[in-house]
Chains A and B, each alone.
Chain A
């Protein structure tokens, strides 16, 4: 299970990478392993408003469907255009080509409640 040091995480198994006022968001390696082969991803369109901790889409795998929760408050700038035709990118490259959303942050550029790589790793070990 990979947990890159340079990212931040949520307890709902999303990763967040903040560059200036834009956050990139996806799901973690732990999440994609638990889900199995991803067959469909639904994320909000550009222009949608998202709120931290609120469901903003879903990831569907062979056996199950899980909500995606927005880690931050903001406005969706871009949804990954590759994901519709190739949802398996979430499995093969969850931190890279499998990114899901880019969100322009509103309010604080340091959103609260995000976990460090170490904190997230500890959380996933507790769940086992």
Chain B
């Protein structure tokens, strides 16, 4: 059998995070991802996934991009550059938002943290950091705002799971109870200064710690030691993907892309058409908001073991009516799950038993399932 190719393209060396040697000492299988050398799994991605659902997982996310936008015109610049209403975000809070092209197509999905009246931190996907930086700089021209790519100055560690707050409380005097979902503030953790955010990509409670590269290893070690009694495990990119899929969260390059609008993805809520002033993509997105949907993002639950994967056709009565965007075995549900774009008519069809996914030449029955597949506090992991 052939084994998955994890080699870097010829002639390019991937970037390393400050936690590279930690991953090696833990025996991680590394892969190149968006130009970075990252841990895919340490021992078993299924065990890592389950640890996040039942205890906690520790992630190195230092490949993500951090772009600072500062100045008296920073808020106005972001209101123009992004689809969200960033000037309305209170200091100490964050927003999930998107940066779109003039035609309404998505260039990246982002989390933007408001650190001060005139200071924002835009966190971009690793693969899009350069594009986002360029677009923000262009769109901020003429505003009193400086846009700087500060990715090299940050490491990012996430601790996610029901035990995360208890583990973090051992290491920080911060009032974690007061740090609500989508809040971010400066705090001390294990004696190091971090931007502590209650955000994540797993569907569990958790925190993301933005820190200096030199503090990454000591913080990782402190969190690992504090969490060892609570079942904390290091978790890689494979687990990260199955966790976000179960939580119904989109991935740029799969559910989101330049030919997809936020409305296509069921995320019209991030487009704040009511905010004052123009923004890039306003005309196209106003039209998209009014138009009938051209496709619908749905959840699928397989009735067989073979996994629907990105790009596989979705069939209705054998007719091609959509395409899978992401798919994987779900450790929590015990069956393969997928997200797919389908013709709007498919969701209105009364008889769900005629739906299938073409898995490498064989039609495998599947059922439409509401997103998210998993909701913490409602669905017990097994």
Which residues on A are within 8 Å of B, measured CB to CB? Answer: 12-14, 27, 30-31, 33-37, 39-40, 42, 58-60, 62-69, 91
CA distance A30 to B3 in the complex (A): 9
Q: List 30 A-B contacts (CB under 8 A).
A: A12-B1, A13-B1, A27-B1, A33-B29, A35-B3, A36-B29, A36-B40, A36-B238, A37-B45, A37-B46, A37-B329, A39-B305, A39-B307, A39-B329, A40-B305, A40-B307, A58-B1, A58-B360, A59-B1, A60-B307, A62-B238, A62-B328, A63-B40, A63-B45, A65-B307, A66-B1, A66-B2, A66-B4, A67-B1, A69-B1
Size category, B interface = 20 to 34
Checking A30, A36, A67 against B2 with a beta-carbon cut-off of 8 angstroms, the contacting residue is: A67
Bound complex: CA of A37 vs CA of B309, how far in Å? 16
Q: Could you list 13 further interchain pairs (A-B, Cβ under 8 angstroms) beyond the known A13-B1, A62-B45, A62-B328?
A: A30-B3, A34-B3, A36-B29, A36-B41, A37-B44, A39-B329, A40-B306, A60-B306, A62-B238, A62-B242, A63-B241, A64-B4, A66-B2
Kindly list the 8 A-B residue pairs having the minimum CB-CB distance in the complex, ordered from nearest.
A34-B3, A66-B1, A39-B329, A40-B305, A37-B46, A64-B4, A68-B1, A66-B2
Q: Which residue of A lies closest to B237 (CB)?
A: A63
Nearest residue, chain A, Cβ from B31 = A63
Give chain B residues whose Cβ lies under 8 Å from the Cβ of A36: 29, 40-41, 44-45, 238
Q: Which residues of B pack against A, CB within 8 Å?
A: 1-4, 6, 29, 40-41, 44-46, 238, 241-242, 305-307, 309, 328-329, 336, 360
User: What's the Cα separation between A37 and B236 when bound, in Å?
Assistant: 13
Looking at the assembled complex, report how far the CB atom of A83 sits from the nearest CB atom of chain B, in whole angstroms. 11
Q: How far is the CB of A76 from chain B (nearest CB, A)?
A: 17
Minimum Cβ distance to chain B for residue A67 (Å): 6
Are A63 and B4 within 8 A (Cβ)?
yes
Among B6, B29, B307, chain A packs the most CB atoms within 10 A around the CB of: B307
Nearest chain B CB to A96's CB is how many angstroms away? 18
Given known A36-B45, A37-B45, A39-B305, contact A62–B329 (CB-CB < 8 A):
yes
Contacts of A91 in B (CB 8 A): 44
In the bound complex, residues from chain A placing their C-beta under 8 Å from that of B309 are 65
In chain A, what residue has the closest Cβ to B328?
Answer: A62
Instruction: Determine how close the nearest CB of chain B comes to the CB of A103; give it in whole angstroms.
Output: 16
Which residues of chain B are within 8 angstroms of A69 by Cβ–Cβ distance? 1
Chain A residues contacting B44 (CB-CB under 8 Å) are: 36-37, 91
| Cα–Cα distance between A34 and B45 once the two chains are bound (Å) | 12
Q: Smallest CB–CB gap between A121 and chain B, Å? A: 15
State A102–B346 Cα separation when bound (angstroms). 44
| Minimum Cβ distance to chain B for residue A108 (Å) | 23
Residue of A nearest to B306 (CB): A40
* CB-defined contacts of A35 to chain B, threshold 8 Å: 3-4
